[in-house]
Structure 1
């Protein structure tokens, strides 16, 4: 089998490219093939950590053959309607999707499929990936990449802090300060995340910025911005502050839905900025 490397696998390690193409072949056989010359790049033996370049020719002489072409799941009319309704921006590289609360991002934990699997089937490509994720009970904007090249590019932008996301948050109680910063340490323990005042092994520094948008008699609407993106960061920090998010059953009082909405997404590298309005139900529940 011979492959001409396209932009999707540019800068991908040779062994990772082969593992994707030959999922049913033991890794030891792949490494042996590289070592013995049964796998060559541009007619020459190569190292497993060689990073492929667009236009490279990879020749593979392995028994067992390439992994069968994957068949994609059939999308129900209801799910198809949800996908089309939720897409707020799309071009040839990325898609920005407005996720409803209770939609899961990936299959698992009792769910046969999630948004990721739906979009892979929608675009008929296994290269689709979300580069950020939000909790099942959180709603709002998530960023999807349509191929591996864009996935790597966007993941690096997120990792380097070159993207920005903001949240609308409805919390219990009246928050007195107009603006405030929470800088704590968060640590996963069993099924929850706990907040610590000082560092201990396994904890991660977590920084969030908040400002009050509207105050009611018993509730407050906040804007939240993350400097770090830890699991349940906003939920845990606000709960520990004494202002749990309305509807957060894990760190506050359970409700029909949790009022945490990712409304703003900015990707300067792509000159992209998406902003959604404050949902009416936040205003309705304020008082």
Structure 2
């Protein structure tokens, strides 16, 4: 399948790899660069380097394999399982693991690991690419996730998440000192008007988004907070905290400060998930221990107060 673009005035002079990675639903810049190297991208019928500067009316064609044509394979990848029965499996997802395959990334995901562990017995509602996946975490966000093993469980969990009867709580380390003890951020989130790989708070359009936070600890130049999501928008906590001037430590997308700390990706962890079991209706709360890299940061900040 091909994606085709024509360069406009505003895009003249942009690097080829940057242009393509900024387009909606395209893979990361590193994946785009590999596609360019492999000859999957042409400009006016010719291959170019990733750093080629676009000219007005350039015709760009990117050839890729649609996800629906990909057969996702089970992989023997260790999982940190918090709970499992015949209907659901609750995972402590590791930082750095993608939840499901996406363009350019077809292996090493949580779905690959789940297919192996569950012998393929997962809900089929979201198709072959996302079996069992009811909700997601960003690649570099760790913590608790629930996965449905059958369609009955999937429908129940999806309804709880959609109606917000399921409670999701996160902890994060953010730059700067938040003076309030608690607060509510209520600001619509939509696609960034310039960088299409990012989300942003928007004044018109977008979707309503509400994040409740309260301060757990304050340090010299950062704050440890707990956040509860009342909506489930892409990158919601990351966007909202950056919007109020307190971006997450280590966030490669929404923090302009150089990451001086020993952490890969944003310091964000899905700590607690409370839900009603799909079959028994019993309320259950699952907690994922804070990952070692975040714990190391907390220990460091506590020693430098």
TM-score, normalised by the number of residues in structure 1:
0.68
* 2:98 matches 1:104: yes
Following superposition, the deviation at residue 254 of structure 1 comes to: 5.5
Partner residue, 2:73: 73
Partner residue, 2:185: 182
Counterpart of 1:133 (choices 132, 136, 142) is 136
Q: Is the 8 Å Cα contact of residues 167 and 273 (structure 2) preserved in structure 1? A: yes
Partner residue, 1:273: 285
Determine the C-alpha separation between the residues in 1 that align with 2:258 and 2:86.
40
Following superposition, the deviation at residue 278 of structure 1 comes to: 4.4
- Bigger strand share: 1
Q: Is the 8 Å Cα contact of residues 172 and 224 (structure 2) preserved in structure 1? A: yes
Larger Rg over CA atoms: 1
Residue segments in structure 1 that go unaligned for 5+ positions in a row: 1-70
Q: Is the 8 Å Cα contact of residues 130 and 142 (structure 1) preserved in structure 2? A: no
* 2:87 matches 1:93: yes
Q: Secondary structure at the match of 1:166?
A: strand
Q: State the Cα deviation string for residues 217-240 of structure 1 (Å, max 9, x = none).
A: 111100000000100111011111
Within 5 Å, which residues of 2 pair with 1:46-57? none
Within 5 Å, which residues of 2 pair with 1:209-220? 209-220=212-223
Following superposition, the deviation at residue 241 of structure 1 comes to: 1.0
Q: Secondary structure at the match of 2:99?
A: coil
* 2:145 matches 1:122: no
Counterpart of 2:211 (choices 201, 205, 208) is 208
Q: State the Cα deviation string for residues 6-56 of structure 1 (Å, max 9, x = none).
A: xxxxxxxxxxxxxxxxxxxxxxxxxxxxxxxxxxxxxxxxxxxxxxxxxxx
Q: 1:223 to 1:72 in 2, by over 3 A?
A: closer
Moved over 4 A (4+): none
Following superposition, the deviation at residue 126 of structure 1 comes to: 5.3
Q: Secondary structure at the match of 2:180?
A: coil
Following superposition, the deviation at residue 119 of structure 1 comes to: 0.6
Partner residue, 1:262: 270
- Bigger helix share: 1
Partner residue, 2:50: none
Q: 1:193 to 1:72 in 2, by over 3 A?
A: closer
Q: Secondary structure at the match of 1:154?
A: helix
Determine the C-alpha separation between the residues in 2 that align with 1:285 and 1:183.
32
* Number of aligned residues: 209
Q: 1:236 to 1:72 in 2, by over 3 A?
A: closer
Following superposition, the deviation at residue 73 of structure 1 comes to: 3.2
Determine the C-alpha separation between the residues in 1 that align with 2:110 and 2:162.
22
TM-score, normalised by the number of residues in structure 2:
0.64
Residue segments in structure 2 that go unaligned for 5+ positions in a row: 1-70, 124-131
